[in-house]
Structure 1
Amino acid sequence: MPPTNDQFENSYELGPTSPSRNGFDVADIFTVSHLDCESSSDVKSFNPSKYSKRHSVREAVIPVQLHTGNDDHEHDAHFDTRLDSIGSGSSSISAAAANGQTDFPDGGLRAWLVVLGTAFSTLASFGYINSWGVFQSYYEQTLLKDHSPSSIAWIGSLQICLVFLPALFSGRLFDLGIFKFPFMVASAVLVVSTFLVAQCTQYWQFVLCQGLATGLGVGMIFGPSLSILGHWFKQKRGIAMGLTTFGSSVGGTFFPIATRRLIPVIGFPWTMRILAFILLFALCIPCLTLARRLPPKAASGGLFNFRLFTDSPPFSIYSGATVCMFLGLFTVLTYIDISAVTYGVSSEHSFYLVAIANASSAVGRLVTGFVVDKSGAINFIAPTTFLTGIITFVWPFTKSVSSLTAIAVLYGFLSGTIVSGFLIPAFLLGEVEDIGRRTGMIMTMGAIGGLFGTPISGAINRVTGGFVHVGYFAGSMIILSGTLMLVTRHFVLRKLWGKF
């Protein structure tokens, strides 16, 4: 029996708050599967226009539709299959819909324990990586002083690349329901590699242990830690992401100070061993608290779904924005310490610049968490991306302690907003069952920029003998990224005002 208008009204109110341009989002149709519909014709006979007018558009969600052929019968059969699979995929979700509840907890003890775990995982992963600027400066002056800044920078860039590159693999495993075991193995790899760095004395050993092994461990931790938030939060996804990435700011502030303070007292080997024990403690918390909520779903398209780029132009453009962003984003954090030493600032003060930048980024990440839930991610991070590019242009011309400190504070805050919010558009450019692979693809594209960005900056520094042209290169890449973000927003909204 076809559902009544009252049934449809109740079902529509359970759906997402973001109708598409024709007023009826594909995700809204999925909630009809909980009703007593006999065929897809019952669904297609529904006209939701009067309901879409009553519900304000709070965010734009672009479901990616894969090609299923031109035959209408095949399309209906495929659509009915989707309805059946979603209706029977999770009894808990069906029960939630039947009780008039949202599909996302958006709070509660279990959800906030997940946020706690992800915060500690980012502290031990991306927060540790964010302290690379201190190692870059220390290696240039001591252990690897016979190597060029560009060569040393390859260690850090390899870390950055591998933070994002394994996300493609870990994201696919996450979608298939395989999360806990890879996460624990990656945690062990990160801790062991940090212990091994203590024994390194030659360049290739640092590349192998601190570049390759540490990067792989961090990459298999960081990606799933962010994807899992998409299972637990929707309306409060921004604040959850902000609190999660706040952990990386805490790590990026703590690790540089601890490293430079401990080395003169106990030496480099024991400093690295103490850092490894800290990482071990921090990673025990996410291993105990993180868990998936939704049932696994083997979405079509393979490990790297190239059809996303043809089926969703906004996804393609945003991927390009991510590449450009990471080509320039880590340059200041990597070279601000050594640039200060070059300008005559004492090394006793210069290393604090990295910690100051990371501490300031914590504020930026929290602000982003509160703002993007109201304004939309790109609406907020595109302007801050442009401002980050401008600060990058200014950085080489600041040569005093006070001016460099101001740059560190401003750059840390602005870059923190980008890091905290850049994955949220990827959550919205498709469906939740594909969220791990989609974020993995975005992060893998960003890995390309992360791999080449700081070595290119180091090579420019070596050729020009300064940091002015380094700032021009990195700042231009960041400005281009902000421009592509706005293009993505235009493709999604097709209008000047709107939330995305």
Structure 2
Amino acid sequence: MESLPMENRNLLLKNNEVIPKPERNGQVLNGETSRDPPDGGIRAYMIIVGSFLTNGLVFGVINSYSVIYTVLQKKLEDENIPNSESRAALVGALTMGTTFLLSPLSGVLTGLLGLRCTAVLGGSIAVLGLLLSSFLVDYVDVLCFTYGVMYGLGASLAYTPSLAILGHYFKRYLGLVNGIVTIGSSIFTVIMPPLMEFMIKNYGLHGLFRLLAVITVGVALCGLLFKPISVVVIEKPPREDGFKALVKTIINVQIWKNKKYRLWALSMPVALFGYFVPYVHIKKFIEINFTNVQDNLPLQCIAVTSGMGRLVFGFLADKKWVNRIMLQQISFYVIGGLTIILPFVKTFPLLIVVSLGMGIFDGAFIALIGPIAIQFCGSAYAAQSIGCMLGLAALPLSMGPPIAGLIFSIYQSYTLPFILAGISPLVGATIMFAIHFQK
């Protein structure tokens, strides 16, 4: 496959300028030069561990929402509340949607507070959201705010820095490191469902939320590790003052002048419209169509092979002959096709096979987000480029599961919801072909 330029570190330089500019708190500073990423060392390996745990703790909880969904849906159904499926799905969809929607805010805060402070703040807000949720489990509408919005905000502020910091410490092995870091969510997604079911069975939802609050303290502690590499100052030109200069320092509009990045960022919301639908509804789908089976097993299979996919595709992303965009397109085509097949599966072993396939290419899509953003915009703008893309994807990502639940409540079947969820990745991947025609 034809490869794309590996990284544009000097996004703001004019064509005749060659002096590299440094990064501090995720921003480029005029008149200074940055050291190359060390690609190793104790400090860099500690960053991997911190980012790994952050991804695992945040998305292990979010991806396992189907366990909470079944409890909330049954509670609403017992109270004879209409559209119980879509209302219960909305709580989890808001969590994922808010995590992505507020990612641009996370990018802005890294310019004001730095990567480390932003991550610690995010972990603290997530803990508070879960703690409040433990006292409000009987009020689903309030959970939309405490679990959906508050936890999503905290997850967003912690997640974006955990990817952006990798570009400060790794360049040659950036793809592999992204794969290792993002495998954290796969491992925790395997662990979380049985743990969450045990807590709900023995201590109820309030006990579960309190345990998750204690575990999420680890996200704030990991954020303390996210210190960008220091820079060597060589000269300082006259300093610009005023509000306009401050805004230019915090928010970089130049990333949108990059045509490849713009096309990529605009195609991702289309592709991600149905992405979260299987995570929310697969357990309910199994309960309706299968008996005497382990209903958490398909979700755990997705998580296991997703981890494998992140390592494999992260490794491939570092190869000069590999086209990262093409790899992400292939992953979307496979995910979309398997999601469409899902409602027609009649045997549980075949459902496991489909889940394993979905997981592998789910890992490919996730592992490539950081390397592609840094490839287009450079490590100095990783937080903002990742954050803006995820922010655009937030609304369709949030709408997918509730719409699927609403369609199910009308037709009492998951055939149409899963088919529609599978079409969106196919369309998004097709739009991404336009990237290859840009110089």
User: Which TM-score bucket, shorter chain as reference?
Assistant: 0.7 to 0.9
CA deviation vs aligned residue, 1:408-453 (integer Å, no higher than 9, x gap): 2221222121112123211111233322212211111121221212
Q: Does 1:367 pair with 2:312?
A: yes
TM-score using structure 1 length = 0.76
Q: Does 1:207 pair with 2:144?
A: yes
- Could you tell me which residue of structure 1 aligns to residue 54 of structure 2? 121
In structure 2, what is the Cα distance between the partners aligned to 1:217 and 1:287? 12
- Could you tell me which residue of structure 2 aligns to residue 179 of structure 1? 115
Contact 2:121/2:220, CA 8 A, preserved across alignment? no
Contact 1:133/1:354, CA 8 A, preserved across alignment? no
Deviation at 1:405, TM superposition (A): 1.9
Contact 1:115/1:244, CA 8 A, preserved across alignment? yes
In structure 1, what is the Cα distance between the partners aligned to 2:11 and 2:169? 24
Contact 2:66/2:280, CA 8 A, preserved across alignment? yes
Secondary structure at 2:403's aligned position in 1?
Answer: helix
After TM superposition, the structure 1 stretch with the greater mean CA deviation from structure 2, 473-482 or 292-301, is: 292-301
In structure 2, what is the Cα distance between the partners aligned to 1:415 and 1:299? 38
Paired amino acid for 1:190: A
- Could you tell me which residue of structure 2 aligns to residue 341 of structure 1? 287
Q: How does 1:206-355 map to 2 (within 5 A)?
A: 206-280=143-217, 282-283=218-219, 285-294=221-230, 301=248, 308-309=255-256, 311-346=257-292, 349-355=294-300
CA deviation vs aligned residue, 1:9-33 (integer Å, no higher than 9, x gap): xxxxxxxxxxxxxxxxxxxxxxxxx
In structure 1, what is the Cα distance between the partners aligned to 2:38 and 2:420? 44
Aligned pair in 2 of structure 1 residues 304, 323: CA closer, same or farther (>3 Å)?
Answer: farther
- Could you tell me which residue of structure 2 aligns to residue 152 of structure 1? 88
In structure 2, what is the Cα distance between the partners aligned to 1:300 and 1:320? 23
Deviation at 1:251, TM superposition (A): 1.8
Deviation at 1:373, TM superposition (A): 0.9
Contact 1:157/1:454, CA 8 A, preserved across alignment? yes
Deviation at 1:143, TM superposition (A): 5.7
- Could you tell me which residue of structure 2 aligns to residue 400 of structure 1? 347
Secondary structure at 2:346's aligned position in 1?
Answer: coil
Aligned pair in 2 of structure 1 residues 57, 464: CA closer, same or farther (>3 Å)?
Answer: closer
Aligned pair in 2 of structure 1 residues 438, 294: CA closer, same or farther (>3 Å)?
Answer: farther
Secondary structure at 1:105's aligned position in 2?
Answer: coil
Q: How does 1:417-432 map to 2 (within 5 A)?
A: 417-432=364-379
Number of residue pairs matched by the alignment:
416
- Could you tell me which residue of structure 2 aligns to residue 194 of structure 1? 130
Aligned pair in 2 of structure 1 residues 142, 399: CA closer, same or farther (>3 Å)?
Answer: farther
- Could you tell me which residue of structure 1 aligns to residue 99 of structure 2? 163
Deviation at 1:274, TM superposition (A): 2.0
Instruction: Note the residue ranges of structure 2 that are not aligned, 5 or more in a row.
Output: 23-27, 237-244
Aligned pair in 2 of structure 1 residues 124, 89: CA closer, same or farther (>3 Å)?
Answer: same
In structure 1, what is the Cα distance between the partners aligned to 2:121 and 2:8? 35
In structure 1, what is the Cα distance between the partners aligned to 2:18 and 2:317? 35
- The structure showing larger relative contact order (alpha-carbon pairs under 8 Å, at least 6 residues apart) is 2
Paired amino acid for 1:395: L
In structure 2, what is the Cα distance between the partners aligned to 1:238 and 1:457? 34
Contact 2:301/2:359, CA 8 A, preserved across alignment? yes
- Paired residue for 2:45, among 112, 130, 133? 112
Aligned pair in 2 of structure 1 residues 373, 397: CA closer, same or farther (>3 Å)?
Answer: same
Contact 1:129/1:159, CA 8 A, preserved across alignment? yes
Contact 2:164/2:370, CA 8 A, preserved across alignment? no
Aligned pair in 2 of structure 1 residues 196, 86: CA closer, same or farther (>3 Å)?
Answer: closer
In structure 1, what is the Cα distance between the partners aligned to 2:55 and 2:344? 32
Deviation at 1:220, TM superposition (A): 0.8
In structure 1, what is the Cα distance between the partners aligned to 2:436 and 2:347? 39
Secondary structure at 1:205's aligned position in 2?
Answer: helix
Aligned pair in 2 of structure 1 residues 428, 483: CA closer, same or farther (>3 Å)?
Answer: same
Paired amino acid for 1:337: K
Q: Does 1:476 pair with 2:437?
A: no
CA deviation vs aligned residue, 1:292-351 (integer Å, no higher than 9, x gap): 125599897576655644x222222111221012201111111111011111335x7213
Contact 2:130/2:146, CA 8 A, preserved across alignment? yes
Contact 2:115/2:226, CA 8 A, preserved across alignment? no
Q: Does 1:451 pair with 2:384?
A: no
Contact 2:57/2:185, CA 8 A, preserved across alignment? yes
Structure with larger Rg: 1
